[in-house]
Amino acid sequence: MVHPGRWEVNAWRSPPRTRWRQIFIGEETGETARMLQLRPNCEWCDVDLPPDSPNARVCSFECTWCADCIDGPGSPLADVCPNCGGNVVPRPIRPAGLLESAPPSTERVHNANAPGRS
């Protein structure tokens, strides 16, 4: 009998963690699933935002900002993405064990309207 809310390992033919990797990392099909880019910097002030940073914020287009620029006191951006006008939320933290198979982006993106840029 399977209890609600529990994995039935036999039905999946592999432990849940392994099955998750097969589905989302693409081990069954050979394809790589589309993951968040996890850009390495704030587009406004260029501060570093490593993959495990709790201060990273993103909009639905993955524009990346630091918490100080987007929602800090006196923030010039005031919780609104200056690129698309959408809301900005905390960026999820990718588990360290998945960074090798789904690495973060190394491309630094800068907003042309940020102070000190022309």
DSSP 97-112: GGTTTSPPP------T
**Residue with more model confidence, 58 or 10:** 58
Integer-rounded Cα radius of gyration of the chain: 18
Tell me how far apart the terminal alpha carbons of the chain are, to the nearest angstrom.
Answer: 65
More confident residue, 20 or 46: 46
Query: CA 23 to CA 30: how far, in whole Å?
Result: 10
Using the predicted structure, report yes or no on whether residue 91 has a pLDDT greater than 80. Answer: yes
Contacts of 64 (CB under 8 A, 6+ apart): 39, 41, 42, 43, 49, 56, 57, 58, 91, 109
pLDDT of residue 107: 93
Q: What is the mean pLDDT of residues 17-25?
A: 50
Q: Are residues 74 and 49 in the same domain?
A: yes
One domain, residues 49 and 90? yes
Per-residue pLDDT, 24: 52
Is residue 18 located within the same domain as residue 48? Answer: no
Q: Are residues 8 and 64 in the same domain?
A: no
Q: Which structural domain range is residue 30 located in?
A: 1-34
Q: Average pLDDT in the 42-51 region? A: 95
Amino acid 72 reads: G
Looking at residue 118, its pLDDT comes to: 54
Query: Rounded to the nearest 5°, which phi and psi values hold at 103?
Result: -70, 155
Query: What confidence score (pLDDT) does residue 35 get?
Result: 82
Burial class (CB in 10 A: 0-12, 13-18, 19+), 115: exposed
Average pLDDT, the chain: 79
